[in-house]
């Protein structure tokens, strides 16, 4: 008997032909709710993976890129207003952290290529990303950066709870 497969990467292969058929609602915290919520959040993760460079530190990424992803999602998914913008951007950043963690631990540390699973990945920066990710300073710098910009994450924490502002305090910085 084959071992049970784990959940893979969201590829968002299921397409909705007419955006008018895609109704997405948000609660007061800006989180997607309703029957299309899970599909929408998968789409958010994929949109951020496609447009935000995985090989750059968060502090080096142009803030306008995050806004561009939001505008694209808003247009593609027929979202009426910007009420959920800050929450969706925070969740997108969390998705990018998770993505970087995955590619470092599943591919870079094992000397494998992620191109089969992530067709959209810009491989021209892969070698420099791997060497940076495997350096001794990488883990320390990553943790310091996350504490400074308020995105510190500890394993076992609920990312959604942390993002909407109901999380624990970490050394005076709200996670």
pLDDT of residue 69: 94
Strand 25-26 relative to strand 173-174: parallel, antiparallel, unpaired?
unpaired
- Nearest CA among 144, 157, 171 for reference residue 57: 144
For the chain, the domains span 29-170
pLDDT digits (tens, 9 = 90+) for 102-158: 899 899 999 999 988 888 888 999 998 898 888 866 665 556 666 666 655 555 554
Written as six digits, the tokens of 21 are 């058929």
Indicate the average pLDDT of the chain: 76
pLDDT digits (tens, 9 = 90+) for 36-81: 888 888 889 889 988 999 988 777 889 999 999 999 999 888 888 8
- Nearest CA among 43, 116, 113 for reference residue 78: 43
Q: Which residues contact 173 (CB under 8 A, 6 or more apart)?
A: 147, 148, 150, 152
Phi then psi for residue 35, to 5 deg, are: -70, -25
Q: pLDDT tier at 172 (50, 70, 90 boundaries)?
A: very low
pLDDT of residue 85: 94
Written as six digits, the tokens of 38 are 């899970």
pLDDT of residue 120: 82
Q: Compute the distance between CA of residue 26 and CA of residue 28 in angstroms, rounded to an integer.
A: 7
Strands (E), the chain: 25-26, 32-33, 169-170, 173-174
pLDDT digits (tens, 9 = 90+) for 155-168: 555 444 444 444 33
pLDDT of residue 166: 40
């Amino acid at each position: 008997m084959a071992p049970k497969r784990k959940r893979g990467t969201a590829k968002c292969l299921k397409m909705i032909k007419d955006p008018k058929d895609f109704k997405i609602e948000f609660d007061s915290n800006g989180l997607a709710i309703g029957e299309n919520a899970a599909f929408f959040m998968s789409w958010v993760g994929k949109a951020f993976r496609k447009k935000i460079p995985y090989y750059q530190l968060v502090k080096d990424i142009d803030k306008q890129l995050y806004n561009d992803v939001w505008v694209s999602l808003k247009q593609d998914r027929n979202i009426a207003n910007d009420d959920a913008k800050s929450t969706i951007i925070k969740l997108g950043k969390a998705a990018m952290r998770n993505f970087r963690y995955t590619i470092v631990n599943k591919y870079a540390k094992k000397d494998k290529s992620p191109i089969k699973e992530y067709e959209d990945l810009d491989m021209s920066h892969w070698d420099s990303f791997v060497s940076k990710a495997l350096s001794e300073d990488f883990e320390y710098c990553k943790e310091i950066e996350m504490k400074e910009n308020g995105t510190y994450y500890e394993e076992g924490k609920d990312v959604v709870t942390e993002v909407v502002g109901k999380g624990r305090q970490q050394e005076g910085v709200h996670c």
